[in-house]
Amino acid sequence: MAATPAVRTLDQARARYSLHEYDPADGADGHGYGEVAVAALGADPAQVFKTLVARVDGALTVAVVPVSGQLDLKALATAAGGRKATMADPADAERSSGYVRGGISPLGQRKALPTVVDDSALTFPTVLVSAGRRGLQVELSPADLVRLTRARTAAIARLG
């Protein structure tokens, strides 16, 4: 398996992680990419995090929230020190990150962006995020996720 930029970032940092591969087509009938990963891996949807790209006062910003929740744009704006947040255009997210939708990892992005990780991640010994392609998740400590993305943590998810 070819290493993605996310996996190379983890290797360069000598971070401890494990990869979880699955068929991204399993259960893809109308479900989001995160829900498909949760179902395929039999994982806790509160422990699997999706990577979303938004604009805070016009600047691209990464938000990492649990699959079991939704991004609270107002909370993201506050956490990022801005006034207003909107979801970024998917093409802008792909261009900036170097990844395709459904496989955007918060790690190893082409352009480092301000990143906010929902603070619920800190309640788990490990969390799962995209490893940089559809069908591949990486499990790592929340501390490594925050450190390697230079993220701040804040309550940015509305749990559903």
Model-wide pTM > 0.75: yes
Q: Which of 160, 101, 141, 138 is nearest to 4 (CA)?
A: 138
Query: pLDDT per residue over 19-73, tens digit each?
Result: 999 988 765 555 688 999 999 999 999 999 999 999 999 999 999 999 999 999 9
Range of the domain at 46: 5-146
Rounded Cα gap, residues 69 and 109, in angstroms: 23
Is residue 79 a part of any domain in this protein? Answer: yes
Query: Is 154 contained in some domain?
Result: no
Give 89-131 pLDDT, tens digit per residue: 999 999 999 999 999 999 999 999 999 999 999 999 999 999 9
Residue 157 inside a domain? The answer is no
Cβ atoms 18, 144 nearer than 8 A:
no
Tally of structural domains, the chain: 1
What letter would DSSP give residue 41? H
Residue 151 lies in a domain: no
Residue 14 one-letter amino acid: R
Tokens 């082409």 -> residue: 110
Is 48 part of any domain?
yes
Distances (CA, A) of 48 to 53, 83, 105, 153: 17, 28, 12, 16
Closest CA to 51 of 113, 122, 3, 126: 113
Which domain CATH number covers 41?
A: 3.90.960.10
CA distance 71 to 118: 9
Burial class of residue 30 (count of CB atoms within 10 Å of its CB; 0-12, 13-18, 19+): exposed
